[in-house]
Each structure stands twice: as C-alpha cells, then as structure tokens.
Copies of this chain bind each other. A is one copy, B any other.
C-alpha cells in the first residue's frame, strides 16, 4: 500500500462539532485513508512519499454540495440581470449550444479551478454527465453526479438519467457516486417527481434538486398546487430518500419541520444569492431544526467562481448582517458547516474531518502572505483572511493531485485551448432556441 507523509503541519480537526487546531503534526496516509495524525517526527521514515508542510495548515478537502460545473464555459456571461432574464435570455439559450464534448471541456476547466481552490468533492447537477464523469475520473477528484432532467423532457429522458446512475455508480475507484437530478418542482410536475422518488428508492440513491430558491417560486407553487415547493417534494415522496435541496432560501416553518430528521441537506451558495438579488436564507433557524447545511458554488454564471472559501466567508458575513447581530454564526459554526456540513449533505461520513480512518482528502494552505499575518485567531484567519489562492497542495483519495500551483492530473494549456476554440460558437445566442422556459 502506498504511503504519504505530510510533515510538520498544523491540522484542523473536529471533535464532534467543535473545530480544533493542532500544531506541529504529521499526517500519515496509507492507501486511500488517513492512518494516523501524530506529533511531528524529527525524521521521515524511508518508505513514504514525504510532503514537507512546515507553516502550512491542513484542512479537509472542501465539499461542494451543489454545482453546475461545466457552466464555467459561460463564466460572467450574464452580470446585472434578474432571475427571469438570467434563465430565459442568458442561460437557457446559451445552453442550447452545448455539445457533449463542450460539456467535457467545461467540466475539465471547472475541475482545474476547483482543485486549485481546494475542492475535492462536488455534487454536480448538469447534462451529458458521462462526459462530466470522465473529467472527474481524469482529474482524480470525488463527485456525486446527477444528470439534470426537466419534466418536459419526459420519462424517456428520465430513463436515460437512470441508466447514467447505473453506469457510473461507484466508478473511478469508488470516487464517483451517482444520484437522480430532477431540475426543480417548478420545471418538473408532481407525477414526474413521484417517479423520481420511486426510482431513487429502487436504485438506493438520492435526488439532487433545486427548491424554494425565490419568494416568486414559492408563490407560483402555492398558486399551481396550493402547496409550497417543499410540500410538493414531500408529497411526491422525494424526502423519503436522501436529498440535496439546492438553495432553499424560502422554506416555511412547516417546510423546515418536514425536512428535519430526514436525510435531507441544504446547499448554500450566497454569492449567487447576492449577485442575483434573491435574498438570503435564515440559516440559524435551519441549524436549530438540525437540518444539514453545506456550502456550494452553484454555477459560474451566477457565482462567477467555483470557490468555497469565498462562499464560506460570505455565508458568515451575510448571515451576521441579515440578523443584524455579529454574534450569529460564530467561527466554530462556520467551520463545521464548511467542512463537516458538506460531508453530511452529500452523505459521506468518511469525509469532512481529518482523523484516522477517514478518506484522505487533504488540502494544505499557505499562511505566509501579509494578509494572513499575524495569526491571532486561527479559525477567524481561515474564514476571513485566507482564500482559495492560498491552496498549495491537494490530496484526494490518498493521491497527490495538485502541488505548488501545479496540476498533476490536468493539462491547463490544453483545457484553455479547447475552451477558447469553442467559445465563439458557444456564445451565439438565439432566443428562439432554449433548453427550457423559466416560469414568470
């Protein structure tokens, strides 16, 4: 079994929900797993690959609980537009241009971006997912993949996404898991959702779905069905299996009670909410109910970057200001959400914490920029001063995939060449051709 020794780093670990920062530790990785975290040794054993990490902080690989990774192809294509125009005049027409190969190169670019930002596991919700799975396999990361499907595409297309689940479950040496991914209760009707619930139960997988993103969506759902979006999901049986609810900014108190105690997690991407003027979730209430919360990048046309450091910081900052109380979401809670919360949402309990026995997804952060010095409060420094560009080294599933600013599994030049060659065609917009219609 291959051995990797990270020497003389600081380590962020959790005891229960509480973050602890350990000084001067060695992390021993054997095969896919962390086998020990020990006081730093004077000498490295001979049979290990050694990473010298003095001055660096080791944190768990970050978990992106909701993304549309290939959308990096359209990064910043639609600034300064509200929800309706964003869907109907920017995204849904642009996405009509995508070929499977485009999706692949978008996924490759997004993987390169995420690895460099310390993200080792992503719940990705998009189309042509075989091509995304290939990119994940190549990148050496971990992913929970769902092939997005709209109700109007019909049950034949749902079958296609089921076959994807079956084809890729447990592939890439176990790094890939697959779920179903009906788009949303506003673009899938209750019968369609009920079918997704039954198929997920049969397959032993979860559903990954958008829900209650805006006040307008809730109003539309009440008008159409006399129920909130979360009630629609509950009545369709979606909450009987594991589920990732993307965004869910506007649940009612009853909705939160429906979610509490289920295998339901909520993905939070505040950069999207700010950019698209969607408002903000009342997260302390979700936490009170014991609902799992994780951070998410969403797609790069709303969030502009696939960066969970930024989402972590924005989660803390925006919640304080929303509550008009700086004591809301203290640093300990924010770190628990960012690291362990992500693992809860994607239902992978062996991730999100650096401890012996867990899977070895480890990120090393430099702390030597002036902006990160001096280090007075390690938790606050990690949340408010360090950022994605402080990532030095990334290990996923026990394998080194990024070091010193260099990708070890991906060829950036080739990716840029492929993406930029496709761009002129991808940006041609014909409003009469779009993949779906966002309801007013």
The chain A residues found within 8 Å of chain B, CB to CB, are 72-77, 79-83, 86, 109-110, 112-113, 116-117, 271, 273-280, 304-307, 314, 317-318, 320-321, 323-328, 330-331, 369-371, 373-377, 379-381, 383-385, 387-390, 412, 415-416, 419-420, 423, 427
Contacts and interface: CB of A to CB of B under 8 A. Distances in A.
B76 A275 contact: no
A279 B76 contact: no
Number of copies: 2
A277 B373 CA distance: 24
Contact of A376 (B75, B305, B330): B75
A331 to B, nearest CB: 5
A376 B427 contact: yes
Given A77-B376, A110-B370, 13 more contacts: A76-B380, A81-B326, A81-B327, A82-B325, A82-B327, A86-B326, A112-B370, A271-B317, A275-B326, A277-B323, A277-B325, A279-B321, A318-B321
A389 B73 CA distance: 22
A79 B331 contact: yes
Contact of A113 (B273, B321, B370): B370
B385 A304 contact: yes
A114 to B, nearest CB: 8
Contacts of A271: 317
Determine the main DSSP class of A at the interface with B: helix
B376 A321 contact: no
Contacts of A379: 79
Contacts of A112: 370
A136 B360 CA distance: 46
B277 A328 contact: yes
Contacts of A376: 74-77, 423, 427
Kindly name the residue among A76, A83, A86, A389 whose own CB sees the greatest number of chain B CB atoms within 10 A: A76
A80 B277 contact: no
Contacts of A318: 274, 318, 321
Contacts of A278: 321
A320 B81 CA distance: 10
Contacts of A387: 387, 389
Contacts of A377: 76-77, 79
A317 B275 contact: yes
Kindly name the residue among A109, A117, A371, A420 whose own CB sees the greatest number of chain B CB atoms within 10 A: A371
26 contacts: A72-B373, A75-B376, A75-B381, A76-B375, A76-B384, A77-B377, A79-B380, A79-B383, A80-B326, A81-B327, A82-B327, A109-B370, A110-B370, A113-B370, A116-B370, A274-B317, A277-B321, A277-B326, A304-B380, A304-B385, A306-B371, A370-B412, A373-B419, A373-B420, A387-B389, A389-B389
